[in-house]
Structure 1
Amino acid sequence: MRPLFAALLFVFPLIQPLPAGADEQQLPGSIEVVAELPINPGNLAVTADGRVFATVHQFRRADAQLIEITGPASYRPWPDTAWNGAFGSGPEVLNSALGIRVDRQGRLWVLDNGLGDPPLMPHQTPKLLAFALAGGKPVFRYDFPPETGPAGSFLNDLAVDDARGFVYIADVGGSQAPALVVLDLNQRRSRRFTASPALQAEDVDLVVEGRVIGPRGDDGKVKPARIALNPITLSTDGETLFFGAMNGETWYQVPARLLREGAKDAVIAAAITKAGPKPVSDGAATDTAGHHYFTDLGNNAITVLGPDGRLDALVQDDRLLWPDALSFGEPGWLYIAVNQLHRAPFLNGGVEGAVPPFRIMRVYFGQD
């Protein structure tokens, strides 16, 4: 990985926000804080005019599950307090929202994997919801049947094809095999695809702040994490689906048409090819020019895979302590949810080691 903007970062490590309308003065790799929060953002979605929405990661539950950022240190439950009610308190509650996307039809898609903490918080049925950005009214709902959202699955991230009416979901797997879940919005029918080793974690450690990350076993020793299918994106024309394991250094691609048309598992598996390298990453985003941006967990960085196959650093910043998720916002800007997830009890020997605030940041990458 070549440090494309290393010299710029050395000279300008803390570039401050410029006035509105001055983006043309920004240098690629310029990074700034959008909001500092007392609660833990999971994934995020940003509109083209800069509205910022975030889920609250279920590893650190708070007084809301879905929020809109309202200021440099403020937020509000979205769309209202009722949808942000207590876990399991009713059918119209977000129990464990994580994956989130804004589409081109003015809708916010929210993936609720339903995972709880039994026996006090028994798992709920996973569901996908869409809310109108104007007013917050729910406009779509799908409750996953056991065949495609089985108990023990972990529906984590999603890519939305609003033109054709398909949603592609990355299921990390949990106690199930990792899977691509394909939802036909028009037919209200879903499918679970598991038949490829490309969905599995690779044998590569995640090292953050000098230590190997993973849960602690009964023997008191850390078991290095091996987290499977996680980041997932879609090309602008909707024809190519990209994905990779969190614990993995390979970025894969598959023709989305095969998934839309219900091709046989063997045909889909044979069509999966390598798109290029990637870092160990929790989130990704693909722009209209075919660049793939990744959260580089081990290096507190955002890296970019260009159409030429090169993997380069866009920005490295010590504040990027577990950059979890990415979302494009205003032209030229890429937003980042930073949540110190490696310091959460599940990945930190049962001890909470985070030092708030948690952050929403953004980096300028230039025009497509």
Structure 2
Amino acid sequence: MKTALFLMAALLVSCSSTSSSTPAASSASEPTTLSVAAESRTMIWNGVAVEGGRVFVSGPLWTGSKGPSVAVLDKAGQPQPYPDAAWNEAGRNPAQSFVNVNAIHRDGQGHLWVIDAGVSGFGGPPVPSGPKAVEIDLGTNEVVRVYPFDARVAGPGSYVDDIRFHGRRGYLTDAGRPGIIVLDLDSGAARRVLDGHPSVTAPSNRPVVVDGQIVRAPDGSPLCVNADPLEVSPDGKYLYYAPLHGPWSRIETRWLDDASLNPADLAAKVEPWADLPPTGGTAMMANGDLYFGDLAANAIKRRAADGTITTVIQDARLHWVDAPDIDADGFIWLPTPQMDRVALFQGGTAKIELPVRLYRLRIK
């Protein structure tokens, strides 16, 4: 939905911790096996980012998570509020605290971005000043800028989901009110594009299936999540994106950046890209390889730049892998929040199997 997800307002759309282990250090001699990097009985994390030996995790509070919204794992494996306790104080001024964080993402420039859907709770509308992107300097551990999304960008039904970058533009998906958000990182101006376009809208004929069961929204209908996973091609030419269910589309970033294009002309620039299965999250390498979680198969798969798809690992422990991250040492980090097992989708009784684990796997 991450990834992720991200599910909240998206789930309104119908189709008809305490960690107890220490984050493992990267080692070139480690075998290519799935290993537990951290685990928690309180924090339900759906996102991870790894940089400079530090492991950051995040998760929306509506899942039932009792930990901070964003945390860094200390040497004892304990999640510590990040960038500080104030930003993780629920109920505080939503312009200066996290409301419901859906994703975290490194920008390659030493900054961590936190994407806050800003919704009050499952099914609730965005709270005033809630939806935002928060940019944190990983060197100083300080928030350097907050990019708020007003009601014109993240209005009723919106669930701002995740972000990717090219140049001085950020591109975000809206998993609730289907569309793409283009953010100017200099001016802070944001605008919606491809509103309601089929490429960002959950299809009615591709249900999300996990462990052989269709995942259903609280009203009993098949779960539908609109624009969710996204990546920018290594050369920055294309934005790849999809509803959680797939299929994927692409559009050149130059067209997204051109505010003079009218909606019809921009829509005409969308192209089919890849018919991938429902996924909780993706990560793309510099060579164009796309790693994605196949929810139905409990697997991590790789789509090579030539379109070839291979299974990297299939394991029952990889139940709803959400937004992963690939670190500088060649490991992919895999959060497993078990989103389909949260109380919202289980008649009010959570079926999450604790502890929630963060896995990692060497891929290069």
Amino acid at match of 1:186: D
Q: Does 1:128 align with 2:133?
A: yes
1:166 to 142, 166, 169: 169
The separation in 2 between residues aligned to 1:256 and 1:60, in whole angstroms, is 37
Between 348-357 and 118-127, report the one with greater CA deviation. 118-127
The separation in 2 between residues aligned to 1:242 and 1:226, in whole angstroms, is 19
Partner of 1:267: 265
2:149 to 144, 149, 154: 144
- Checking the alignment, whether the CA contact within 8 Å between 1:304 and 1:312 is kept in structure 2 is yes
Matched position secondary structure for 2:156: coil
1:286 to 284, 287, 292: 284
Deviations 1:50-70 (A, max 9, x none): 321111223223241101122
The separation in 2 between residues aligned to 1:172 and 1:111, in whole angstroms, is 12
**CA RMSD for the aligned pairs?**
2.2
Shift of 1:330: 2.5
Partner of 2:363: 365
CA distance 1:54–1:110, change in 2 (3 Å): same
Matched position secondary structure for 2:223: coil
Deviating beyond 4 angstroms after TM superposition, the runs of 4 or more aligned structure 1 residues are: 17-21, 118-122
Q: Does 1:70 align with 2:70?
A: no
The separation in 2 between residues aligned to 1:233 and 1:120, in whole angstroms, is 28
Partner of 1:40: 44
Shift of 1:212: 1.2
The separation in 2 between residues aligned to 1:122 and 1:241, in whole angstroms, is 26
Shift of 1:118: 8.4
The separation in 1 between residues aligned to 2:324 and 2:128, in whole angstroms, is 27
- Checking the alignment, whether the CA contact within 8 Å between 2:125 and 2:156 is kept in structure 1 is no
Shift of 1:333: 1.3
- Checking the alignment, whether the CA contact within 8 Å between 1:333 and 1:364 is kept in structure 2 is yes
Deviations 1:316-357 (A, max 9, x none): 111111101111113321111111111101222222111211
- Percent identity, please: 28
2:207 to 205, 208, 213: 205
Partner of 1:117: 121
The separation in 1 between residues aligned to 2:78 and 2:168, in whole angstroms, is 34
Partner of 1:6: none
Partner of 1:12: none
The separation in 2 between residues aligned to 1:98 and 1:54, in whole angstroms, is 11
Shift of 1:31: 1.8
Partner of 2:11: none
Shift of 1:265: 2.0
Amino acid at match of 1:198: S
Amino acid at match of 1:45: A
Shift of 1:88: 4.2
Q: Does 1:22 align with 2:22?
A: no
Q: Does 1:233 align with 2:243?
A: no
2:97 to 89, 93, 96: 93
Shift of 1:72: 6.5
Shift of 1:255: 0.4
Amino acid at match of 1:309: G
Deviations 1:111-140 (A, max 9, x none): 111111389997343111101102211111
Matched position secondary structure for 2:256: helix
The separation in 1 between residues aligned to 2:44 and 2:25, in whole angstroms, is 28
Q: Which runs of 5+ in 1 are unaligned?
A: 1-16
The separation in 1 between residues aligned to 2:338 and 2:279, in whole angstroms, is 14
- Checking the alignment, whether the CA contact within 8 Å between 2:125 and 2:157 is kept in structure 1 is no
Shift of 1:245: 1.1
CA distance 1:41–1:119, change in 2 (3 Å): closer
Amino acid at match of 1:91: A
CA distance 1:348–1:232, change in 2 (3 Å): same
Partner of 1:184: 184
- Checking the alignment, whether the CA contact within 8 Å between 2:88 and 2:98 is kept in structure 1 is yes
Q: How many residues are matched? A: 336
Partner of 2:3: none
Matched position secondary structure for 2:88: coil
